[in-house]
Structure 1
Amino acid sequence: MSVPYRQDMPPTGGFEAIRYKRYLPYKGPSGAVIFGAFFLVSAYGLYRVGMGNREKRELLREKQWARIHLVPILMAEADRNLVRREYVALEREKELMKNVKGWQPGGKVYHSDKYIPPSIQI
């Protein structure tokens, strides 16, 4: 018994195309978009740092000028305080040394005409 020979043939319309490329799904922005966004964020950050440095420099300049303008007032206040303390010390010296003959209250300790500020707290 012999079976008739029959050759295997492709289906009508042909075989389906072979997919040899990678078909990956879209998973986010491209590298150029990421780089551009990074550049913009960095540029904005550097701009803000520059503005902060400018403001800090302006505040420092304002602080220095405020100190420069306050120095005469503070010196005058210190001078008034020194005069007040010297007056109180003179009154105390008069009270303490009232019984000592020849004592001059407020007399000079040093034999000089040069002003020497007190070296201890009065």
Structure 2
Amino acid sequence: MAQRGTQDLPPSGGYAQVKYRRYLPKRGPSGAVIFAGITAICTYGFYQVARGNLEKKELARENLWSRIHLVPLLTAEADRDLYRRTEAAKAREAEIMKDVDGWKVGESVYNNTKYFNAPSYVIVPEQQKSE
């Protein structure tokens, strides 16, 4: 037991120095390197998206113009098909109605003498929306 009135003091020359510093190896890249890497990846991604959008727009334009240039061909083909079907229908009508006196093949049973063929249009949009 310690005596009264005396204080505990360090040994002469002091205590040995406490080693408190930790020597841990660095783990991974620094924050600046990570930030630079993410920025580079995002920049490349946005560049690829922009290129893809331009390609998509060009393909849509090409598709539209190919349709515009095919309309006359398709219209002519539809007209030939309509004529062939009309002539076949007239031939069937002549065969069916051959015994009816006064029947005129191909004549309309309605009082309207106009022939109407629905036109087909290709609408070129001012600005095409991409989906």
Query: Any idea what SS the aligned residue of 2:102 has?
Result: coil
Match of 1:43 in 2: 43
Encode CA deviations 1:10-59: one digit per residue, 9 max, x unaligned: 6xxxx5x5433333211111000000000000100110011011101111
Shift in Å, 1:72: 1.3
- Give the length in aligned residue pairs: 106
Q: After superposition, what is the alpha-carbon deviation per residue over 1:72-119, rounded to whole angstroms, capped at 9, x for unaligned?
A: 1111111110000000111111111111111111112222331145xx
Does the alignment pair 1:85 with 2:81? no
Query: When the two structures are superposed, what TM-score results if normalisation uses the length of structure 2?
Result: 0.72
**What is residue 111 of structure 2 aligned with on the other side?**
111
**1:26, 1:42 → 2: CA distance?**
27
For residues 97 and 113 of structure 1, the distance between their equivalents in structure 2, rounded to whole angstroms, comes to 21
| Secondary structure of 2:109's aligned partner | coil
* Corresponding residue SS for 2:27: coil
TM-score by length of 1: 0.77
Q: What is aligned with 1:57? A: 57
- Secondary structure (helix, strand or coil) at the match of 2:40 reads helix
Q: What code does the residue aligned with 2:20 have?
A: Y
Structure 1: stretches of 5+ with no match in the other structure: 1-7, 118-122
Rg (Cα) greater in structure: 1
Q: Which runs of 5+ in 2 are unaligned?
A: 1-10, 118-131
Alignment RMSD, CA only?
2.0
Percent of matched pairs sharing the same residue: 52
